[in-house]
Structure 1
Amino acid sequence: MILIAVIAVLVTIIYQDFRYREIWWFTPPLLFIGGFAYRWYILNWQHFAFNFLFIGIMIGLLMIYVRFRFGSNNLFKEYFGLGDVLLLFAITPLFSFPFFIYFFTCGTIISLIGHLVLTLFKEQKTIPYAGYISACTIAFLLLVHYEISPFVYAA
């Protein structure tokens, strides 16, 4: 039942991000609570903390890159949405640390490829990163839940 609620929140995020290029402020906390409840019995606090630290480091490096590359101090206003960052923090309970790095990397690559393909059909200035990562998260959760992938033991 919790899995259905988590997937419902992820589908809502996908719709909002593709339609409006923003997500409601309360969806990341709902997703975080749902992910926490879904993985409570196997949640490793050390992995959870490392996931948070990894995201913090990645955002810090992105801020430094934007500062030097574009001369802008405001990462979240012009280049990367705050909802995207909140979503990354919200999905941290769903993954072990080593697999989170793998998921983050593959999810970002899939997001870029998906965006390039969709841009062939309709010109878009922004990338709905939260929507793409939400779709990847749904795929991961379903593969793990139905035990039809090698990810069963990695999560």
Structure 2
Amino acid sequence: MLFLTLFVLLCLGFICYQDMRYRAVYWICFPLLAISMFILKLDNATWKDALIQSLWALAFFGIQLFALWGYLSLKHKQIVNITRNYLGLGDILFLWAIAFYLSPANYILFYIASLILILIYTIARRIVQKNANPEIPLAGLQALLLSMILIVSVINPNLQPYTDSWIYGF
């Protein structure tokens, strides 16, 4: 499974590079990432458990997208397309893809923590660079953070992003 982990890290690195450099990512990266991450998860979970956990994470993400769409539609008093000015399709596809690897609690933890860290990074960048690009490479920065988590989980087997058991240890 080391080869598959390296492939996932390569995909994450490619997503990070493309999003940071071009603010666009080839769409094929996301299904490849989802499939390879799901296979990694199957190495440590049964087919049924992996599928159920993925569906829970996808349900959480779906609720978040629906809530965001509803809020923005109410705010603008018309139905809005959130991928037009608010959230890139690559950002959505990235969060969709990682749901096939992270357990539900880890997915929520990663989702919230990565948004907070990226917000802090963006604010700091705007303070330092007055005329910085206003677009946030969300998928790229989240891919960078997830690759760091994967590297740490390879070094420290007690950190297992595909299961919630390490969280219960606290």
Instruction: Determine the C-alpha separation between the residues in 2 that align with 1:114 and 1:69.
Output: 27
User: Hey, which of these two has a bigger chunk of helix by percent?
Assistant: 1
How far did 1:120 drift? 3.0
The code of the aligned residue for 1:133 comes to Q
Deviation for aligned residue 1:29: 0.6
Letter in 2 for 1:151: L
1:68 aligns with 2:74: yes
Q: Distance in 1 between matches of 2:135 and 2:92?
A: 15
Q: Which residue pairs with 1:17 in the alignment?
A: 19
Q: Tell me the C-alpha RMSD between the 2 structures.
A: 1.6
1:47 lines up with 2:49 in the alignment:
no
State the alpha-carbon separation in 2 of the partners of residues 147 and 100 from structure 1. Answer: 19
Specify every segment of 5 or more residues in structure 1 that has no aligned partner in the other structure, as ranges. none
* Paired position in structure 1 for 2:98: 91
Equivalent residue, structure 2, for 1:107: 114
Tell whether 2:38 aligns with 1:30: no
Q: Distance in 1 between matches of 2:141 and 2:76?
A: 25
Q: Of 134, 137, 145, which residue of structure 2 is paired with 1:125?
A: 134
The yes-or-no answer on 1:58 pairing with 2:60 is no
Equivalent residue number for residue 163 of structure 2: none
TM-score by length of 1: 0.91
Of 137, 146, 151, the residue aligned with 1:142 is 151
The residue type paired with residue 159 of structure 2 is: F
Q: Which whole-Å deviations, capped at 9, do the CAs of 1:12-41 have from their partners, x for residues lacking one?
A: 111111111111110101110110121212
* Corresponding pairs, count: 153
Match of 2:135, SS? coil
Between the aligned partners of 2:151 and 2:100, the Cα distance in structure 1 is 16
Higher Cα radius of gyration: 2
